[in-house]
Amino acid sequence: MERRTILARLGGLVTAGLAGCVSGSDGGGPPQRTTTQTAMTPTLDDATIAVQRNDCGQTTSDATVSFAEHVAVSGTIWAPDPGWTAVLSAASYDADADELTVAVGVEPRDDSGPVVQCIAEIEYRVTATFSDGLPGSVTVTHETDEGVETVATATA
């Protein structure tokens, strides 16, 4: 009978001891580990421009922004004549503002030769790739003979 009493008491002590270690609520045990997730900050990896079309038109200046696995900007910028082309003047990401800024300009093509004298509408597509997410907002500006103009803003 004493043996049963000793085993019962020993079992109770072991259970109480383990409960204190598992719960960690008694304040005397080691600190519990907690898992916290920190938000990743997007990083601009690359930005490229591709001219889709360059033809006579009007002084059109517009753009649209889409967010997918990358940021895509489709737009039209004007130039003095079709001997000019669209260029990516700048693409930068401000992590504090969580904003991508894309600046598209125009410059004379080296291979233009003689050209028709008309206002050129140049359709382009800018693709910006990121690591660790996408920006929260995008601002697109056009740089032409008339200065710098914001032509699109978008939020993800």
Residue with tokens 């200046």: 61
Please spell the DSSP secondary structure of 49-96, one letter per residue.
EEEEEEEE-----EEEEEESSSEEEEEEEEESSTTEEEEEEEEEEETT
Domain boundary assignment for the chain: 1-36, 43-155
pTM: 0.73
Q: What is the pLDDT of residues 26-78, one digit of tens each?
A: 555 565 555 555 678 999 999 999 999 999 999 999 999 999 999 999 999 99
